[in-house]
Amino acid sequence: MSADAAPGVGSVEGIRQLATTRRTEVDDLEVAAYRLAEAASWGAECWRGRSGEQFVASMTDVSAEVTAVARGLEHHAAALEAYAVDVSLIQGSQQTLEARRAMAEQNVLSTGVALKTIMREAQDAARDDLIGIVVESEYRSGERSTLQRRIDDEQRELEVMAGLWADLVEERAAADRRCIAALQSPEAMGALPQVTGQALAAGSSEELLALLAGLSATELTMLLEQHPELVDKAFLADPERVRAWWDELGQQGARNADGLTAMQVALVRGAPAIIGALDGLPPSARVAANVFNARRRMAEIDAMVGPIKRRGLPGDDETLAALARERAYLGRAVAEPPTVQLYLFDPSKSRIIEMIGEWNESTRTVLTYVPGTLTNMDSFYREPGTVQQMAWWLHDSDASKTTVAFVFKDGFFPGGAEGGKNPAEFVGAFAEANDPEFARKSSKTLYDFQRGLAVDPVSTKPGHRDIAIGHSWGLANITSAEVRGATYDKVISLAGAGMPPEWQARPGTTYTDYSYWDFLQAAQRTGGVWEGRNPNRSDEFDSKGYYLGPEDLRFGDMATLTPLTKVDDNHSLVAESSEANAAVRDALTKEVHPDVR
């Protein structure tokens, strides 16, 4: 407010009315929060099962949010009431100053008129004096001096008034600042305004995560919608520090049926884009967060379908069919109980990892299954699971029920963007699959994935095993991750493509290759696939010999010949769990689960 502005500007009654309106809203919100809490209490008593737990959690969260809004409005009302008092007092002081200033200005004016009158009389008397007796400067000098003193006194009074007015202007500015600060305080607005600035200025990802932990689910949603760049920044956090941060949050308060505290629940619900993809977090937390990511994607699909149907362009039927497959798949992830567990789900970046089995204290074998060339998101959505079937088979074959399998596709795979819809695209996919640099870059996410699981206490239990299985190009991804530092107890090739030039077998890791005669085998015979660095030609891999060569195209130990027209089918067959692949399937099962009979 400028020094010339009226410090008492504004309506005190209007300010008080704003405060009254907020207090009325507080009353309504308190009633709503009470009814929500009642609903949660009813759900806890009468609604059993996981869906009931989620209902109770949802009602509890909403009740807490409504209560928080009510408390904020209470602070708003109190701040406005205090502001109304300040403005009222300032207006009273302003009126007093204005009255004093008006009186002083009037006195200066009237006294000045009297003084000017005397001075004119002195001039006239001196001009009319013929004998020189009258001296103008001495004419009624005492009276003139008295009037001048009065004028000087009133001028000083006006100067004092100007100083007091400036003080009152500053007092109003201070009252404004107090009111604004109270209206924007964490008590009134929550932590979001303050945390937003701190989060944007956070020097490290770990500092960012610490700030996020203090926000409610609603505040987290608002923050990340306004600043989506914070999601990628969070992903730079070190997995060990991420796990320590999450475990610390797990000690702060009571836990719900899923074993999560209120702070952890807020992060899962309000920041699923982060929690569902943050390496170092427990698998259960990531799966829970990706339920919300799946629901959001399902809503996006529902919004897309109508416009696509109405436009009727060529290829729309295929697009709609693909969206229907995706929605049905995601429906299994959000079902109660779920039949799909998403350890990672971000379709915008072609990221998906499906977890098969329950990660718990009994987990001893972790299978990482990496599919090959042409794998895309739709590969996961198709029924029956195109890329998941071998992982499911190996999980179900474990009599001890201590195996968890992850079907891994984090980012684009060779040809995965187009899916090899025509010969030209297939050739391009093959070129990517044969490029060591492509595998080097893509292997970063596989290496990070293993690092994230390694910080879990389950991974340090005696008897824990990490087994990586790569089909086709998937083996190149795995061996490139080994170059980065990933370690496995077993690496298994299913018609694997090759290894990068810098790859070396790791001591303590066993390497096995299962292959039929197929188009890749034929190409590998030329030395043009990975420059001859192929698992079936490497001394480091124990090749199981389910093919003898093009001159003797036998199918495993069977006497029947494998027709050349079937070589493409054979490349896919080696990764299937069907009876047609029983020879490889059962041998692989015995290797992974040696106790299986």
- Tell me whether residue 595 is in a domain: yes
Distance from the Cα of residue 175 to its chain's centroid: 38
Mean pLDDT of 516-539: 87
Mean pLDDT for the stretch of residues 169-186: 86
Rg (CA), the chain: 40
What's the rounded mean pLDDT across residues 116-142?
74
81-96: per-residue pLDDT in tens? Answer: 899 999 999 999 999 9
Mean pLDDT of 73-83: 86
Q: Is residue 345 part of a domain?
A: no
CA–CA separation, 157 and 167 (whole Å): 15
Domain that holds residue 430: 350-597
Last residue of a domain, one of 340, 366, 385: 340
Which position has the higher pLDDT, 246 or 549?
A: 246
Same domain, 449 and 560: yes
In the prediction, which pLDDT does 53 show?
64
Of the ranges 173-177, 244-248, 371-375, 535-539, the best mean pLDDT one: 244-248
Within a domain: 1: no
pLDDT-based confidence at 132, cuts 50/70/90?
low
Pairing state of beta strands 465-471 and 490-494? Answer: parallel
3-state secondary structure of 56: helix
pLDDT at residue 257, as a whole number:
79
Pair (227, 176) in one structural domain:
no
Distance CA 274, CA 268 (A): 8
Residues 97-109, mean pLDDT to the nearest whole number: 90
Q: Write the CATH number for 98.
A: 1.20.1270
Retrieve residue 293's tokens: 């990511």
Percentage with pLDDT > 70 across the chain: 86
Q: Looking at the structure, do residues 196 and 332 belong to the same domain, yes or no?
A: yes
**180-189, 271-280, 365-374, 465-474, range with the lowest pLDDT:** 180-189
Same domain, 432 and 468: yes
Q: Of 64, 53, 41, give the one whose Cα is nearest residue 255.
A: 53
Q: If pLDDT is split at 50, 70 and 90, which confidence band does 548 have?
A: very low
Burial label, 578 (beta-carbon count in 10 A; 0-12, 13-18, 19+) = exposed
> How many other CB atoms sit within 10 Å of the CB of residue 377?
21
- Own/partner pairs, 248-257, CB within 8 angstroms, 24+ separation: 249/213, 256/53, 256/57, 257/53
- Mean pLDDT within 259-270: 92
The answer to whether position 577 is within a domain reads yes
Q: Are residues 321 and 372 in the same domain?
A: no
User: Do 38 and 168 lie in a common domain?
Assistant: yes
Q: Count the Cβ atoms, other than its own, within 10 Å of residue 549.
A: 10
d(CA 60, CA 52) in angstroms, rounded, equals: 12
CA distance 120 to 436: 108
CA torsion, points 292, 297, 302, 307, in degrees to nearest 10?
150
Q: Which residue has the higher pLDDT, 257 or 317?
A: 317
**Of 189, 223, 241, which marks where a domain is finished?**
189
Q: Residue 389's pLDDT is what?
A: 96
Could you tell me if 470 and 589 lie in one domain?
A: yes
The arrangement of strands across the sheet holding 465-471 comes to 341-346, 351-356, 403-410, 365-370, 465-471, 490-494, 510-514, 542-543
Question: Which residues have a Cβ under 8 Å from the Cβ of 566 and sit 6 or more positions away?
Answer: none
For 31-47, give one letter per residue: b (16+ CB within 10 A) or e: ebbeebbebbeebbeee
Mean pLDDT of 206-234: 89
Residue type, 536: N
Per-residue pLDDT at 379: 94
Residue 151 has a pLDDT of: 86
What is the rounded distance in angstroms from the CA atom of residue 381 to the CA atom of residue 326?
5
Question: Is the same domain home to 271 and 176?
Answer: no
> φ and ψ at 451, to 5 degrees?
-60, -40
Cis ω before 563 (30° cut-off from 0)? no
- Quickly count: other Cβ atoms within 10 Å of residue 427's Cβ: 11
Asked whether the predicted pLDDT for residue 514 surpasses 90, the reply is yes
Find the CATH number of the domain harbouring 511. Answer: 3.40.50.1820
The per-residue pLDDT for 4 is: 56
The residue-averaged pLDDT of 184-212 equals 78
Average pLDDT over residues 222-250: 94
Residues 275 and 369 reside in one and the same domain: no
Least confident of 2-11, 44-53, 390-399, 583-592: 44-53
Alpha-carbon span 27 to 30, nearest angstrom: 5
Q: What is the mean pLDDT of residues 515-534?
A: 87
CA 88 distance to own-chain centroid: 46
The answer to whether 320 and 305 have CB atoms below 8 angstroms apart is yes
Task: Give the separation between CA 71 and CA 59, rounded to whole angstroms.
Answer: 18
Find residue 349's DSSP bridge partners. Answer: none
DSSP 413: P
Determine which of 22-26, 444-448, 449-453, 503-507 has the lowest per-residue pLDDT on average.
22-26
Say if residue 79 is in the same domain as residue 118. yes
**Model pLDDT for residues 450-485, shown as the tens digit of each residue:** 999 999 999 999 999 999 999 999 999 999 999 999
Closest C-alpha among 475, 443, 473, 444 to residue 541? 475
- The CA distance from 456 to 283, in Å, is 9
User: In the numeric block, which tokens belong to residue 94?
Assistant: 């302003």
Is residue 6 in a domain? Answer: no
Q: With contact defined as beta carbons under 8 Å apart, do 336 and 50 qualify?
A: yes
pLDDT value for 553:
42
Total domain count, the chain: 3
Phi-psi region of 363 (alpha: psi -120 to 50; beta: other; left: phi over 0): beta
C-alpha closest to that of 375 among 341, 406, 414: 414
Q: Which long-range contacts (CB under 8 A, 24 or more apart) does 201-205 make?
A: 202/233, 204/237, 205/233, 205/234, 205/235, 205/236, 205/237, 205/238
Asked whether the bond before 501 is cis by omega within 30 degrees of 0, the reply is no
Give me the pLDDT at residue 561, please: 36
Q: Is the same domain home to 169 and 252?
A: no
Min mean pLDDT across 80-89, 494-503, 551-560 is at 551-560
With tokens 């990628």, the residue in question is 232
- The verdict on 335 and 355 lying in the same domain is no
Instruction: Please tell me the least confidently modeled range out of 383-387, 397-401, 445-449.
Output: 383-387
CA–CA separation, 508 vs 491, rounded Å?
Answer: 11
Residue 426 pLDDT class (50, 70, 90 cuts): low
Per-residue pLDDT at 388 exceeds 70: yes
340, 366, 397: which is the final residue of a domain? Answer: 340
Question: How many Å from the N-terminal Cα to the C-terminal Cα in the chain?
Answer: 86
253 half-sphere exposure, CB direction, 13 A CA radius: 11
Paired tokens of 162: 């100007």
- Torsion angle defined by CA atoms of residues 525, 531, 537 and 543, in that order, rounded to the nearest 10 degrees: -100
Quick one: average pLDDT of 159-180?
90
Residue 241: how many other CB atoms lie within 10 Å:
15
Contact 572, 522 (CB under 8 A): no
